[in-house]
């Protein structure tokens, strides 16, 4: 027997009604009149797509056409012979002249294959799964894949963002994008409104140390706006500005801060010798660093006590004196002013302005450094401060250093403190610099959006010997090489001794 026989309304039919394109509703004669226009538009679209493919993959298309022609026209033997001949030519070219082979053949081939098999192949899936594509009213808005350039160690991929997107969204997804496209890391750079360039990094071009070049002879070649102290990851010289700026370098112990300061000294050597640049130094570590070549300095102090503070206060006075003497005559220091350019190097700045236990000395040192950094740019005085700990309690006036260099650091928060907010998200991961690559650093100048990754020259004791010889005119004494004596064999403790 049926117990509950009440009538229940059937569920409404839950299927979406098919939507026909608008033009199917047009009357037949209108379709007839418009059909030539539609055919022209269709042909134009097909031509545009074909042109795009030919523009993106010229090498691949030429090779495919030549392969098809030789295989079908000449037969498999000829095809195999021509292919082997082509490979042999490329190999010999690469062997005899690798740079031109790389530039004109390998880079093209690599770019087209990586574009096709890596980026174009997976683009749609990766955009959807990373939430960078949007679905609105049944229409998908997907970022467009633009130009790809494979340089071997990195792929540069241009992207056109969808409307309403911000580069910050891409920065948040950078790590996921790197994994999706099998890269070690991904950096996001803004090229122009709506256009981004993604750097997919595959290997580190700065993994080998870079020797310091021979000392220049001519002081006229020293440009204080572009002092070359290393090489960037793109192979260009790393140019550090000293005139009109102050430089703060932060890195853990062993990050290579010493190399950086000696690379600056080597680059300035002709100007130091000619008296156009005078370098002052404070090394609170008892001279372990600056004491290696004291001849570079006009005056150098090996502690953080009253002598260091007196030097700082003298420099602060000099800044004021110059500012007064230039008043009404010139806006900023130039070599024609008659004064030398002054560079103050403070190794472990924290020891001078934070760790000094005598409060009076600490306050005087802090006031003097603040005075030099806030007023010294125009009168030709520059501070190069080296530091291990960038916290606010250690240095509250980081913003007065307009060039900041982050060498290897321990934590991401330290990178933000040194380089400023948002720079780490753009790729400047100084906390990920390997301990096996001392001297690698991220350089950020105020006014330039993009940080630069570079490695400073490796300055060895030999180079320092040459630098001292160059400045003093004395013959360089090669460092004494020690003979390593093997440990004696372990003596049995029971028989009366231990090795
Ligand atoms: N640019 C470089 N290229 C290759 N090796 C380097 C470079 N700079 C430094 N090194 C090596 O790294 C080690 C540490 O360098 P350095 O003493 O300059 O570091 P640091 O940051 O000054 O350390 P600390 O703060 O303890 O003085 C040294 O053995 C040095 O030879």
Question: What residue ranges do the domains of the chain occupy?
Answer: 119-201, 219-472
Ligand 1 center to residue 459 CA distance, Å? 9
C-alpha to C-alpha distance for 250 and 232, rounded to whole angstroms: 18
ipTM summary value: 0.96
The predicted model gives 430-447 an average pLDDT of: 93
Q: 219-472, superfamily in CATH?
A: P-loop containing nucleotide triphosphate hydrolases (3.40.50.300)
Residue 332 CB contacts under 8 Å (≥ 6 apart), including other chains:
244, 326, 377, 378, 379, 380
C-alpha to C-alpha distance for 230 and 209, rounded to whole angstroms: 10
pLDDT band per the 50, 70, 90 thresholds, residue 65? very high
Whether 112 and 57 have beta carbons less than 8 Å apart is answered as yes
Q: How many Cβ atoms are within 10 Å of 399's Cβ, its own excluded?
A: 12
pLDDT tens digits for range 324-351: 988 887 888 888 888 899 999 999 899 9
Which residues form ligand 1's pocket by a CB distance below 6 Å?
209, 251, 253-259, 289, 438-439, 455-456, 458
402 is in an annotated binding site: no
252 is in an annotated binding site: yes
287 is in an annotated binding site: no
C-alpha to C-alpha distance for 212 and 460, rounded to whole angstroms: 9
Ligand 1 center to residue 297 CA distance, Å? 21
**pLDDT value, residue 139:** 86
256 is in an annotated binding site: yes
Ligand 1 center to residue 389 CA distance, Å? 17
Q: Which protein residue has the closest C-alpha to ligand 1 atom 25?
A: 253
Ligand 1 center to residue 249 CA distance, Å? 13
| Atom number of ligand 1 nearest to Cα 285 | 27
Q: Which protein residue has the closest C-alpha to ligand 1 atom 15?
A: 256
Q: 119-201 adopts what CATH topology?
A: 3.30.980
Q: Which protein residue has the closest C-alpha to ligand 1 atom 30?
A: 256
**pLDDT value, residue 475:** 67
pTM over 0.95: no
| Atom number of ligand 1 nearest to Cα 440 | 1
328 is in an annotated binding site: no
| Atom number of ligand 1 nearest to Cα 348 | 25
Share of the chain above pLDDT 90, in %: 68
pLDDT tens digits for range 210-227: 999 998 888 888 999 999
């Amino acid at each position: 027997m049926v117990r509950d026989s009440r009538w229940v309304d059937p569920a409404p039919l839950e299927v979406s009604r098919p939507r026909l394109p608008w033009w199917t509703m047009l009357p037949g004669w209108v379709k007839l009149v418009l059909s030539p226009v539609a055919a022209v538009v269709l042909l134009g679209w097909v031509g545009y797509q074909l042109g795009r493919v030919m523009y993106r993959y010229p090498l691949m298309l030429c090779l495919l056409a030549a392969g098809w022609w030789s295989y079908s026209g000449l037969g498999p033997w000829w095809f195999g012979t021509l292919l082997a001949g082509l490979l042999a030519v490329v190999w010999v070219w690469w062997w005899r002249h690798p740079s031109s082979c790389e530039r004109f053949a390998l880079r093209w081939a690599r770019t087209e294959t990586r574009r096709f098999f890596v980026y174009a192949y997976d683009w749609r899936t990766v955009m959807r799964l990373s939430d960078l594509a949007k679905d609105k009213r049944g229409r998908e808005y997907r970022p467009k894949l633009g130009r790809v350039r494979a340089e071997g160690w990195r792929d540069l991929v241009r992207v056109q963002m969808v409307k309403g997107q911000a580069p910050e969204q891409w920065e948040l997804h950078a790590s996921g994008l790197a994994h999706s496209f099998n890269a070690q890391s991904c950096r996001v750079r803004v090229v122009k409104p709506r256009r981004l360039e993604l750097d997919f990094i595959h290997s580190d071009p700065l993994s080998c140390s870079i020797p310091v070049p021979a000392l220049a002879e001519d002081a006229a070649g020293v440009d204080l706006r572009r002092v070359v102290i290393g090489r960037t990851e793109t192979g260009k010289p790393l140019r550090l500005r000293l005139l009109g700026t102050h430089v703060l370098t932060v890195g853990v112990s062993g990050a290579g801060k010493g190399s950086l300061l000696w690379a600056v000294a080597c680059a300035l050597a002709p100007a130091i010798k000619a008296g156009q640049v005078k370098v002052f130094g404070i090394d609170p570590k008892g001279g372990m660093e600056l004491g290696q070549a004291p001849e570079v300095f006009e005056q150098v102090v090996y502690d953080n006590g009253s002598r260091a503070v007196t030097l700082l206060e003298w420099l602060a006075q000099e800044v004021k004196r110059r500012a007064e003497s230039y008043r009404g005559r010139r806006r900023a220091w130039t070599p024609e002013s008659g004064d030398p350019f002054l560079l103050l190097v403070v190794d472990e700045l924290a020891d001078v302005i934070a760790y000094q236990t005598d409060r009076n000395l600490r306050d005087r040192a802090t006031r003097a450094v603040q005075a030099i950094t806030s007023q010294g740019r125009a009168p030709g005085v520059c501070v190069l401060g080296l530091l291990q700990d960038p916290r606010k309690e250690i240095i509250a006036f980081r913003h007065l250093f307009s060039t900041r260099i982050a060498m290897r650091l321990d934590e991401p928060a330290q990178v933000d403190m040194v380089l400023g907010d948002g720079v780490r998200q753009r790729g400047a991961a100084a906390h990920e610099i390997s301990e096996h690559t001392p001297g690698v650093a991220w350089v950020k100048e105020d006014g330039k959006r993009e940080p630069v990754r570079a490695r400073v020259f490796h300055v060895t004791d030999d180079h320092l010997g040459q630098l001292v010889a160059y400045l003093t005119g004395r013959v360089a004494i090669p460092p004494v090489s020690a003979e390593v004596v093997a440990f004696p064999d372990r003596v049995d403790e029971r028989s009366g001794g231990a090795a």
